[in-house]
Structure 1
Amino acid sequence: MKSYILSFATVFCLFICGANSFGQSLSVENLLDKAVTLSQKGDSTGATEALTKGTSALETEAKSAGGSLKDKLLSQAGNLKSLIPLASSGKLSSGVLGKAVSAVKMLVGANRISSLLGKGESGLLGNAANLTNNLGLIKAGSSILGSESQSQLGGLLGEATKAVSGLDKKGVTGKLAATASSKSLGTIVKLVGSAL
């Protein structure tokens, strides 16, 4: 009986771990990063598959999520779609794909932040890790911007990252952090929207 319970627990654990890694691999940014990596390695079949899945995931997220950048996300999904035939024929340069993916990362991060901002204080409080992750996505894609915009955005990202760190705190501290971060996050969303 003990060995039966042990083997069941092992299978259950493997299933949960597998489900977690599967879920993580399906995020828009992970799929698109995978497409860039495979493209750089010359694996056109793998790059095409990851790009196709990433484009589909982007369309799904854009249509289902709130946020003010939905139309821009759908436009970027259209751009990625137009790259799929080039990827499948092996004619897509990893540089072109990398720039497209950077733009998507910035918009995805900004749109997720915009969606949380739309919920008011409740969308911010307790969401420090989520917001920090999305600020990181914006930073990761910002290399495609001109130096002036990149510098301006970098300063805002630094301010916002400090401000959101207090969002997991209880009481007045958390509320003050929500007020402080709300303004800087809103400015970042607008800047990303206008830059792309």
Structure 2
Amino acid sequence: MRNLVKNLVFILLIFLIISGLFALFARPFEKEKELSLTQLVEEINQEKIKKITVSGNKLQIIYQDDTEAKSMKETESSLSQSLLNYGVDKTKLAKVEIETKEAGGTWTWLGPVLFAVLPLLLFGVFFWMIFRQAKTGAMQAFDFTKARARLFGAEGHSKERITFKDVAGLAEAKEELKEIIDFLKNPKKFLQMGARIPRGVLLMGSPGTGKTLLA
């Protein structure tokens, strides 16, 4: 049980660390403000836009305060031409830094998918390990119970038959009875010391442990 608790705490700590890393690196994938071309032209004319990055038809927009937004340009024409068609001020547009990049690769779509799927996989692994630990503990307890059932009877003592051979070599029992045997062999020595002859000896123990054979 103690090992199960340790493993659960360890797994929980790993899960929290990984969740924190996902939360940290998932920020680029948070939903951004989306502008229409009309809104983008208004923002440019008000000199609020610092930079526009063009990647295919996608526009990544950075404001003067470094906040970000996104938009889409027209497929048939360039960005400058599209903005001019919507009435952008050429002098204001000239102040905006425009950068062109190649369209995003695999990570553009794979990144959000991984960040959505991996937490589910982590939850699955977490609960699978909990189930496995619980199952292992239950099996160990069951095996221990079976082992006890094989070794002991209903009253808690061994089912195996006790013979004289089993009790003949018990050093502790012989040591306990040694003084009594000496008394019976040499009673005068003990009587001189003031000892009295015992009226009997009571052997204590559970049934079937060899008391009669020992006597």
TM-score, L = length of structure 2: 0.21
More strand by share: 2
More helix by share: 1
- Of the two, which has the highest radius of gyration? 2
